[in-house]
Amino acid sequence: MFPNPHKTLESYVDTITYGDCTEHLPNLPRESIHLCLSDIPYGINLADWDVLHNNTNSALLGQSPAQRGKSGFKRRGKPINGWNAADRKIPQEYQAWCHQWTEMLFPAMVEGASVFIFGARRTLHRAIVAFEDSGFLLRDILAWEKSNAHHRAQSLENLVRKRGLNAEAEKWAGWKVGNLAPIWEPVAWFFKPYRHTILDNVLENEVGAINIAECLVEGRSPTNVLRFDSEAGERLHETQKPLDLIKYLIRLTTREGQIVLDPFMGSGTTALAARDLGRHFVGFEANEQFCQIALERLKTTGLSTNNRQAQRRQRVSKKTIIDETPLLFPET
Ligand SMILES: C[S@@+](CC[C@H](N)C(=O)[O-])C[C@H]1O[C@@H](n2cnc3c(N)ncnc32)[C@H](O)[C@@H]1O
C-alpha cells in the first residue's frame, strides 16, 4: 500500500472512516498518534469479519451439521474429522495478517506512545510477535476481569447417551467437553521505543508516563488486573467493550488534546470514549453497517457537561501537526 498524498490527518481526525485500515494507515503522518487502542479481530472465526485465513475446512462458520440451528458459537470452527493441516496453519496466517498492519502502524506512532490491543487468549501471542517484529516492545499483558462469563461446556455424559451408549455414559458423569469459564480477557500493552531516557521522551513527546492520580482504584494505585463489568442493555457489536474500561486506558496514557487511534472501531466505543475525555480520535471500520452504527452512536450520544467544558478549553496537543486547529467536532 502506498500513501495517498491527498489524505491529510485532518481528514481523518474526529471521524470514523469506512474502509479497510490497511488502505488508510499509510496515509497517517509519521509520529502523529499518541495512543493506539484497539479491540482487534481475534482470528478465532467469531464472525465473518474474524475469518483471517484461507482454511476452507467445512466445519467453519456454521457449515457443520452439528452447528445448525445453534445460536451461540454456531460460527466457530469445529473440526468434525480432526484438525487438518490447514486448521493448524490458522495461527500463522493470523500472525501474517497482523504483521501487515503493525508495519503500517509503527511509523504513525509517536515515540514512547502506548498501544493497547485486546485479543483472544488463544491467538494474542501471534499478534504480540507481529508487533515485536514491527519494532514495538511489549510492556505488559493486562487482564480485563469481567463480573461473569458465559460457560458453554457440554455434559459428556449426555453426549455419550445421545449415541445410545448408556453404560458408557455413566462412566463420564460429571465430565464436560469445553473450557473453563472465560472470566478474563488479555490486553497486550506495547510501546514504541524512544531515544534517550523516558524522562527526555516525556518532555519531548508528552507520552510514555502513566497518570496514576486519574486512575486510582478505590483510592489505591491500580494493578494490572482491570475489573470492569460488561455493560447492561442492547449490544451494538458482538464484541463491544465497556465504555468505562476504554476510558480508563485512555486516561492512563494520554493527555487532553492528544490523538487516539483505533483501526478496528466496531461500534465506535474508542471514539466515544476519546471524545468524551477531550481527546481526538482517528478510526477505521471495514464493515459498512458497523461503521454506520458507530457514526450514529457518536451523533446521538451526548457529552456530559464537564467534558463539554473540557473540550471547549482544550486544543489539539502541541505535538501534533494540526497544532493550531480548533476542535474539529461540533459541540453537542
Ligand atoms: C473486535 S471488533 C471491535 C468491536 C469494538 N471493540 C466495539 O466496542 O464495538 C473488530 C472490528 O474490526 C473490523 N475489521 C476487521 N478487519 C478490518 C480491517 N481490515 N479494517 C478495518 N476494520 C476491520 C470488524 O468489522 C469488526 O467490527
> Residue 64: what pLDDT?
61
Residues belonging to the chain: 332
261, 285, 289, 291: which to mutate for ligand 1, most atoms within 8 A of CB?
A: 285
46, 245, 262, 265: which to mutate for ligand 1, most atoms within 8 A of CB?
A: 265
DSSP string spanning 136-191?
-EEEEEEEEE-S-----PEEHHHHHHHTT-HHHHHHTTT-EES-----EEEEEEEE
- Ligand 1 atom closest to 239 (CA): 4
Distance 49 CA to ligand 1 centre (A): 7
Per residue of the chain (332 residues), what is the pLDDT tens digit? 678 877 899 999 999 999 999 999 999 999 999 999 999 999 888 888 888 888 877 667 666 666 666 655 555 666 666 777 888 888 999 999 999 999 999 999 999 999 999 999 999 999 999 999 999 999 999 999 998 887 788 899 999 999 999 999 999 999 999 889 999 999 999 999 999 999 999 999 999 999 999 999 999 999 999 999 988 878 899 899 999 999 999 999 999 999 999 999 999 999 999 999 999 999 999 999 999 999 999 998 876 544 544 444 333 333 433 332 333 322 22
> Residue 231: what pLDDT?
82
Smallest Cα–Cα separation from 157: which of 175, 138, 181, 179?
Answer: 175
Gap between the Cα atoms of 240 and 39, Å rounded: 9
Ligand 1 atom 15 nearest Cα: 49
What residues line ligand 1, using a CB cutoff of 6 Å?
Answer: 20-22, 39, 41, 49, 237, 239-241, 263-264, 266-267, 269, 284-287, 290
Q: What is the pLDDT of residues 203-222, one digit of tens each?
A: 999 999 999 999 999 999 99
Residue 206 dihedral angles phi and psi, to the nearest 5°:
60, 25
Ligand 1 atom 5 nearest Cα: 266
**Alpha-carbon distances of 316 from 53, 65, 122, 165, 253, rounded to whole Å:** 39, 54, 38, 68, 16
> Residue 85: what pLDDT?
82
Radius of gyration of the chain (CA): 22
Distance 118 CA to ligand 1 centre (A): 11
With 0-12 / 13-18 / 19 or more C-beta atoms within 10 angstroms meaning exposed / middle / buried, residue 320 is buried
Beta bridge partners of 186: 143
Ligand 1 atom 13 nearest Cα: 264
Ligand 1 atom 18 nearest Cα: 20
Q: What is the pLDDT of residues 151-177, one digit of tens each?
A: 788 899 999 999 999 999 999 999 999
- Ligand 1 atom closest to 290 (CA): 27
| pTM (whole model) above 0.75 | yes
Contact between residue 253 and residue 211 where contact means Cβ atoms under 8 Å apart: yes
Gap between the Cα atoms of 35 and 324, Å rounded: 20
Distance 239 CA to ligand 1 centre (A): 9
- Ligand 1 atom closest to 266 (CA): 27
Ligand 1 atom 25 nearest Cα: 287
Ligand 1 atom 24 nearest Cα: 49
Question: Can you list the domains of the chain with their CATH numbers?
Answer: 9-58+98-148+183-313 (3.40.50.150), 152-181 (no CATH)
Distance 143 CA to ligand 1 centre (A): 21
> Residue 63: what pLDDT?
63
- Ligand 1 atom closest to 46 (CA): 1
For residue 146, give the C-alpha cell. 469481567
Cβ within 8 Å of residue 112, ≥6 positions away = 191, 192, 193, 194, 198, 201, 202, 205, 207, 208
Smallest Cα–Cα separation from 140: which of 107, 106, 117?
Answer: 117
Distance 39 CA to ligand 1 centre (A): 7
Distance 282 CA to ligand 1 centre (A): 14
> Residue 78: what pLDDT?
64
Residue 74 dihedral angles phi and psi, to the nearest 5°:
-70, -20
| Cα dihedral 197→199→205→210 (10° resolution) | 120
> Residue 224: what pLDDT?
98
Count other C-beta atoms under 10 Å from residue 242's C-beta: 17
